[in-house]
């Protein structure tokens, strides 16, 4: 299969027409969103959704997020809309925010990974909403990477992973947020944060009060434990390099790596020039959004450099940094060293 790329900025009409034609015909299309690129298919067509799992090589018990363009599209997908979801949608949507509810019988087990719930998001990206609106379908879409590798934040990375596997990628430029959406479940009360992302725990708590933070957000799941979010149990965001997070000041970090041979540093902006080893920088030390927009690109750059052993500066766990920490600790296989 030949994979075409259409730039939505220069060919808006053709991008919308071609994506709608393919999506309505049960095909898979790579689409831009503000979080990361998605692999989209008609959420109401089991055969189409199965093609997503095939293209990604994703385990089929890992459910997909259903993307909608307006609030009225939510009701048919869920059994009922909890009050707190209405408040959250009013406050945040469109946003990098995914809300889980009991599913309606229109959502097949292929989408929900055999769970009785469904995850729904209204993306902030204008391009994503235009694509959804124009094809007139709710779109199931996971991140557009091969299962296990870092999520793609530009069309070039989608092409690297998906060339020959899907017919079309819509190029919408670089993703603003750069890590996947916040996932919060309203299938229980108080709601449970399953994955931190572009809408922070602090922002949500201000609107709906108590939120339980799932263990898997910060910690490794115990062997054999049942994951509330199946995606949490898979090895994720892993570059080929062996990464260890170093929890320390920059001075301590510098002293520590001076004594190591053949290593690469993953550090904050402006720090690299003070190090004597090769390095990749992943954003401003005091700005979680700057870090999130750089993180996955930085992980791919480490691979491009052929890095083998990587020592990474450790982000904070407050605000947007919680999402950065959550991804980086997984890419490090939970290896963390406190100096």
- Which residue number, 145 or 264, has a Cβ lying nearer to ligand AMP? 145
Residue 153 binds to Mg ion (criterion: CB under 5 A)? no
Site residue total, Mg ion (CB under 5 A): 1
Q: Which does 20 bind (CB under 5 to 8 A by kind): Mg ion, ligand AMP, none?
A: none
Q: Pick from 94, 73, 280: which is nearest to 198 by CA?
A: 94
Question: Residue from 62, 143, 181, 264 that binds Mg ion (CB under 5 A)?
Answer: 143
Question: Residue from 143, 154, 200, 331 that binds ligand AMP (CB under 6 A)?
Answer: 143
Residue 138 binds to ligand AMP (criterion: CB under 6 A)? no
Per DSSP, 259 falls in state T
Residue 28 binds to ligand AMP (criterion: CB under 6 A)? no
**Cβ atoms within 10 Å of 18's Cβ, excluding its own:** 17
Residue 115 binds to ligand AMP (criterion: CB under 6 A)? yes
Under 8 Å between Cβ of 168 and 29: yes
Residue 97 binds to ligand AMP (criterion: CB under 6 A)? no
One DSSP character per residue, 85-142 reads HHHHHHHH-SSSEEEEEEBPTTS-HHHHTT-SEEEEE--S-HHHHHHHHHHTS-EE--
Question: What Rg do the C-alpha atoms of the chain give, in angstroms?
Answer: 20
Site residue total, ligand AMP (CB under 6 A): 19
Residue 152 binds to ligand AMP (criterion: CB under 6 A)? no
Q: Pick from 207, 191, 198, 210: which is nearest to 320 by CA?
A: 198
Kindly state the smallest distance separating residue 229's Cβ from ligand AMP, in Å: 4
Q: Pick from 194, 314, 174: which is nearest to 244 by CA?
A: 314
Report the C-alpha gap between 216 and 195 in whole angstroms: 8
Residue 33 binds to Mg ion (criterion: CB under 5 A)? no
Write out the residues near Mg ion by the rule CB under 5 A.
Answer: 143
> For binding to ligand AMP (CB under 6 A), which residues are involved?
62-65, 100, 112, 115, 117-119, 142-143, 180, 183, 194-195, 229-231
């Amino acid at each position: 299969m030949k994979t075409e790329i259409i730039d939505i900025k220069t060919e808006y009409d053709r991008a919308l027409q071609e994506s709608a034609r393919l999506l309505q015909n049960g095909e898979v299309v790579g689409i831009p969103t503000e979080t990361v690129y998605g692999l989209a298919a008609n959420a109401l067509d089991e055969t189409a959704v199965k093609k997503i799992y095939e293209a990604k090589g994703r385990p089929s018990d890992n459910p997909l997020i259903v993307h909608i363009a307006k609030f009225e599209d939510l009701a048919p997908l869920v059994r009922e809309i909890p009050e707190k979801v209405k408040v959250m949608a009013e406050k945040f949507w469109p946003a990098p925010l995914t809300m889980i509810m009991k599913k309606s019988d229109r959502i097949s087990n292929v989408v929900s990974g055999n769970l009785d719930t469904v995850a729904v998001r209204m993306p902030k990206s204008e391009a994503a909403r235009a694509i959804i609106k124009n094809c007139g379908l709710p779109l199931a879409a996971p991140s557009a990477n091969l299962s296990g590798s870092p999520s793609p934040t530009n069309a070039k990375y989608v092409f690297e992973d998906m060339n020959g596997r899907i017919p079309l990628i819509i190029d919408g430029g670089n993703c603003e947020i750069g890590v996947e959406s916040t996932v919060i479940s309203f299938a229980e009360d108080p709601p449970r944060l399953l994955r931190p992302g572009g809408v922070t725990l602090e922002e949500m708590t201000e609107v709906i009060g108590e939120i339980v933070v799932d263990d898997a957000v910060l910690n490794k799941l115990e062997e054999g434990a049942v994951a509330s979010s199946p995606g949490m149990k898979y090895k994720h965001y892993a570059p080929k390099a062996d990464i260890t997070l170093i929890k320390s000041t920059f001075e301590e970090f510098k002293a520590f790596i001076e004594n190591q041979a053949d290593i690469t540093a993953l550090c904050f902006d402006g720090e690299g020039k003070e190090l004597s080893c090769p390095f990749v920088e992943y954003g401003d030390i005091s700005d979680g959004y700057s870090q999130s927009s750089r993180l996955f690109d930085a992980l791919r750059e480490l691979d491009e450099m052929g890095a083998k052993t990587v020592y990474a500066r450790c982000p904070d766990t407050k605000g947007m940094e919680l999402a950065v920490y959550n991804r980086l600790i997984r890419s490090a296989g939970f290896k963390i060293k406190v100096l």
